[in-house]
Chain A
Amino acid sequence: MDPCEVEFLSEKELVSIVPNFSFDTIHLISGSVGPFRAGLPVKVPIWLAVNLKQQQKCRIINQDWMDADSLNEAKEEEKLSKLFTKMPSNHYMEEAQLLLNVASDDISDADRIKTAIKDIWDIRMSKLRTSIDAFLKSEGLHAKLDHLTAMEINSVRPLLPHALDQMLRIQTVCVFYKIISK
């Protein structure tokens, strides 16, 4: 899947905004949003938040978890844990990117948040590479992938299933030759 499609999926997540306009509830097919009251926070999907922000119709309130200190804590925990820790969002990477891109003026500490997210991503990706390596070497047939987020899964998609398919083919051929050489 193209990364922009993963981003597309992440845009369904909700985020709080503070609109600078007032408007009644808008009934979307995917659920209603609003009512909007100038100055009062309201939750909307990210795709809407980003567009309202681009039109200077709102201020974006940072996601609760997008806080440099708690992200750094999560980072330390990720370092210590052998397994993948649970992320605050299945789309933490994309959400951070989307929101920081469009609303860095609304989000204090943007640089520290960016760094922390990037660090967490790097730690998890290297963990992922190590565990894939171990998994392939053990000739595993099934793996549990709890707590892996959408973008992380997508980043191994071109490689891992393909490698497993190839291994399966080689195995099948080996079995075949064993049978005919008997």
Chain B
Amino acid sequence: MKQPLASTQPYVPLRLRRTQKPYEAEIGIEHLSFGTLHLTSFYTVLYSISNHNPTCWSSTEKFLITNNFLCEISNMENNGDVQMTAEDDVQEEEEVTAQSVLLAIEEAWLNEKFAPEILPHRSDLVDCMLQQITHMEENMKRLDKEDLRLMIHRMELDRIKYVITNYLRARLEKIEKYTIHILSQEATRSSEECYLTVAELQFAKEFLANIEMLFKTIALQHMPGNFQTFEVDTLTVKPNLQAYVFLRANDRINGIIVPGSMDEEIDLEPGSQHIIQYSAVADLVKSGAVKLI
């Protein structure tokens, strides 16, 4: 009875960054809070990682959307147990639901909103969620106009789109504000550890080139002698990493040195909330050990 599922579902490749903490933990928590709901029932995303070759992903990663709300499978009382297995590397599988991807995007959104600097991009999550949206919109076309689900799905998609839009706009705003700084930092990073996506990098470069062009045509070229130069150093705007931020700890963290103090150290309990200089927790935000609130 459960068999047909695997064969009817589309495979969509998903790239998930290694540094992310396992999704299992989040699924576990949500399972409890949702009580009666079967989380793994739908949009079950199964992704497996090969431990042997961390730089090569594409071959073993499988991302399954089991978007069957319209599918022919009618007998799914037991859908909480429905699982699909990728052909290879069974023991290294991590299960990722669309729900956990959404939660991760929401966290990335708030982090980006509150962090003074630009954070490593999460295009893995964004791409995955945009695929889900497209997929869902396709399926919704088949629903009757009066169908209750149409209204509900549309509302949910609006909410998700708002989060993604706001997240990506927050990044663009930082790119536009700190263009020179971000580009010079990015130049020191290898392609695996870069903070910008390819498209963002392109946008940043064009943005800088356009400003330079604007300055030159209107003013710089009419200035005397060496005042004509576009002085990168004096025009650089840097984010204030000493800005204070609010955060909630996801994990237990010991021995954070409080900036500005002699040698005061603090420990963070999971779930505890704090205000502290961003510079003290920047790495923890990036690793996911704390989240900004």
Q: Do A's and B's CB atoms come within 8 Å in the complex?
A: yes
Inter-chain CA distance A28–B174, complex, in Å, is 32
Contact of B258 among A28, A142, A157 (CB under 8 A): A142
Inter-chain CA distance A115–B36, complex, in Å, is 34
* Chain B nearest CB, measured from A86 CB (Å): 11
Which single residue of chain A is at the shortest CB-CB distance from B244? A161
Inter-chain CA distance A100–B293, complex, in Å, is 26
B68 CB contacts on chain A under 8 angstroms? 27
Q: Is the CB of A28 within 8 A of B276?
A: no
Which single residue of chain A is at the shortest CB-CB distance from B113? A1
Inter-chain CA distance A153–B244, complex, in Å, is 13
Count of interface residues, chain B, beta-carbon cutoff 8 Å: 52
Contact of A141 among B67, B160, B260 (CB under 8 A): B260
Inter-chain CA distance A16–B135, complex, in Å, is 29
Q: Is the CB of A51 within 8 A of B151?
A: yes
Contact of B243 among A51, A161, A171 (CB under 8 A): A161
Which single residue of chain A is at the shortest CB-CB distance from B135? A29
Inter-chain CA distance A49–B236, complex, in Å, is 49
Which single residue of chain A is at the shortest CB-CB distance from B240? A165
Query: Which residues of A11-52 have CB atoms within 8 Å of chain B's CB atoms?
Result: 11, 14, 21, 23, 25-33, 43, 47-48, 51
Inter-chain CA distance A165–B276, complex, in Å, is 11
A157 CB contacts on chain B under 8 angstroms? 246
Which single residue of chain B is at the shortest CB-CB distance from A163? B244
* B35 within 8 Å of A (CB atoms): yes
Contact of B274 among A26, A43, A47, A142 (CB under 8 A): A142
Q: Is the CB of A144 within 8 A of B42?
A: no
Inter-chain CA distance A10–B81, complex, in Å, is 30
Q: Is the CB of A29 within 8 A of B41?
A: no
Q: Is the CB of B155 within 8 A of A47?
A: yes
* Chain A nearest CB, measured from B41 CB (Å): 6
Query: Which residues of B243-293 have CB atoms within 8 Å of chain A's CB atoms?
Result: 243-246, 258-261, 264, 266, 272-277, 280, 293
Which single residue of chain A is at the shortest CB-CB distance from B278? A161
Query: Which residues of B116-140 have CB atoms within 8 Å of chain A's CB atoms?
Result: 129, 132, 136
* A180 within 8 Å of B (CB atoms): no
Take A21-B148, A30-B99 as given contacts and tell me if A146 and B293 are in contact as well, using a CB distance cutoff of 8 Å: no
Query: Which residues of B137-173 have CB atoms within 8 Å of chain A's CB atoms?
Result: 148-149, 151-153, 155-157, 159-160, 162
B159 CB contacts on chain A under 8 angstroms? 8, 11, 47
Q: Is the CB of A148 within 8 A of B244?
A: no
* Chain B nearest CB, measured from A115 CB (Å): 28
A171 CB contacts on chain B under 8 angstroms? 260
Inter-chain CA distance A28–B157, complex, in Å, is 9
Contact of B37 among A29, A32, A141, A160 (CB under 8 A): A32
* A174 within 8 Å of B (CB atoms): no
* A61 within 8 Å of B (CB atoms): no
Take A8-B162, A26-B149 as given contacts and tell me if A31 and B274 are in contact as well, using a CB distance cutoff of 8 Å: no
Q: Is the CB of A168 within 8 A of B242?
A: yes
B43 CB contacts on chain A under 8 angstroms? 27, 29
Residue among B148, B151, B261 with the most chain A CB within 10 A?
B148
* A80 within 8 Å of B (CB atoms): no
* Chain A nearest CB, measured from B54 CB (Å): 29
- Nearest first, the 4 A-B pairs at minimum CB distance are A161-B244, A27-B42, A145-B273, A164-B244
Binding site for B on A (CB under 8 A): 1, 8, 11, 14, 21, 23, 25-33, 43, 47-48, 51, 57, 141-148, 150, 153, 157, 160-161, 164-165, 168, 171
Having A26-B149, A28-B156, A32-B42, one finds 18 other A-B pairs with CB under 8 Å, namely A8-B159, A23-B148, A26-B69, A26-B152, A29-B102, A30-B99, A30-B102, A31-B39, A142-B275, A142-B280, A145-B273, A146-B272, A148-B273, A161-B243, A161-B244, A161-B246, A161-B275, A165-B243
